[in-house]
Amino acid sequence: MIRVRVKGQRRLSPGYLLLDLEAPEVAERARPGQFVRVKAWWGRDPLLPRPFSVHEVLGGRIRLLYGVRGPGTETLSRLSRGDVLLLDGPLGRPFPLPERGPVWLVAGGIGVAPFLFYLSELRNRGLPTRLFYGGRSRGDLLRVDRLRELSGALVLTTEDGSRGRKGLVTDPLSRALGRERPALMVACGPPGLLKAVGRLAEARGIPAYLSLEALMACGRGLCLGCAVARRGGGTLKVCVEGPAVDSREVDLETLV
Ligand SMILES: Cc1cc2nc3c(=O)[nH]c(=O)nc-3n(C[C@H](O)[C@H](O)[C@H](O)COP(=O)(O)OP(=O)(O)OC[C@H]3O[C@@H](n4cnc5c(N)ncnc54)[C@H](O)[C@@H]3O)c2cc1C
Ligand code: FES
């Protein structure tokens, strides 16, 4: 792990923060879809570094977008400019970069974190994109203005109707799939969303990648801590074969 310095941190809405880290080598090597492991505490509790997607790359800095869940993210949320943390990465396989679009991205809540970097890369390649982005309430929808600039079209939903259309993000997605056909779909979010997108894509024969969340220990394919069930038997190591994997390789029924 390398030592990196915090350039700044700001709260975007209750429980969600944007953390800027000075990490030139990581910024240079990172590709959309990859993640880093971060340890901002010096004792043994919590024991393991926590994984976060590379949200944005700005010059020699990387940005993480995260939600406060437990002790690791709680500690992270107290850091400020000048603090030092330990970082490992970039790790994992990048998202696919197809020859042609459109590419439709589907994000649930903090699952949007890796998509800003991905959208800027797809845009650089001239590929048409659409982002379907849903949260429980308006405070769960983050960095909307920047995402709107980067995506060809942005569809927002909230379960309580406080922003965008009321309902689940898969509602407008299903309707759009009734009329149009993207070349590729990529989803990141809670397991229910990943299952739904996997099934919608398979029913229509559209290639889809699902960015899986798994508890991680080594981050290097050595411990099986991140294993999920592979369709047809065996396991899939999310840290080295993912985080985004072809939906046809995953046993969707076992995602929790
Ligand atoms: C590849 C990858 C990329 C990720 N990227 C981001 C990101 O960009 N932004 C972000 O906010 N979060 C991201 N996460 C999730 C993030 O790693 C967890 O929120 C974090 O580890 C929680 O640590 P904690 O110590 O605060 O909470 P913990 O005490 O470890 O956990 C709090 C609660 O969250 C659950 N939880 C913890 N980690 C995970 C996990 N990996 N998957 C499912 N449930 C979990 C626990 O079961 C517990 O209920 C990512 C996870 C992975 C695997
Ligand atoms: S985290 Fe150890 S094998 Fe994936």
Q: How far is the CA of 238 from the centre of ligand 2 (A)?
A: 7
Q: Which ligand gives the minimal distance to the CA of 35?
A: 1
What's phi and psi for 214, nearest 5 deg?
A: -145, 155
> Is 212's C-beta closer than 6 angstroms to any atom of ligand 2?
no
Nearest CA to ligand 1 atom 13: 52
Question: What dotted CATH number matches 2-91?
Answer: 2.40.30.10
Residues ≥6 apart with Cβ < 8 Å to 33: 53, 92, 93, 94, 95, 114, 118, 211, 243, 244
Nearest CA to ligand 1 atom 39: 215
The closest of 105, 136, 108, 109 to 123, measured between CA atoms, is 105
CA distance 170 to 91: 29
Nearest CA to ligand 1 atom 47: 215
CA distance 119 to 99: 15
CA distance 61 to 72: 21
Which tokens sit at 250? 């995953």
CA distance 147 to 119: 8
Tell me where in the chain the CATH 2.40.30.10 domain(s) lie. 2-91
Q: Which CATH class is domain 103-254?
A: alpha beta
Q: How far is the CA of 101 from the centre of ligand 2 (A)?
A: 32
Tens-binned pLDDT, residue by residue, of the chain (256 aa): 999 999 999 999 999 999 999 999 999 999 999 999 999 887 767 778 999 999 999 999 999 999 999 999 999 999 999 999 999 999 999 999 999 999 999 999 999 999 999 999 999 999 999 999 999 999 999 999 999 999 999 999 999 999 999 999 999 999 999 999 999 999 999 999 999 999 999 999 999 999 999 989 999 999 999 999 999 999 999 999 999 999 999 999 998 8
Residues ≥6 apart with Cβ < 8 Å to 128: 101, 102, 103, 152
Tell me where in the chain the CATH 3.40.50.80 domain(s) lie. 103-254
Nearest CA to ligand 2 atom 3: 221
- Specify the pTM: 0.96
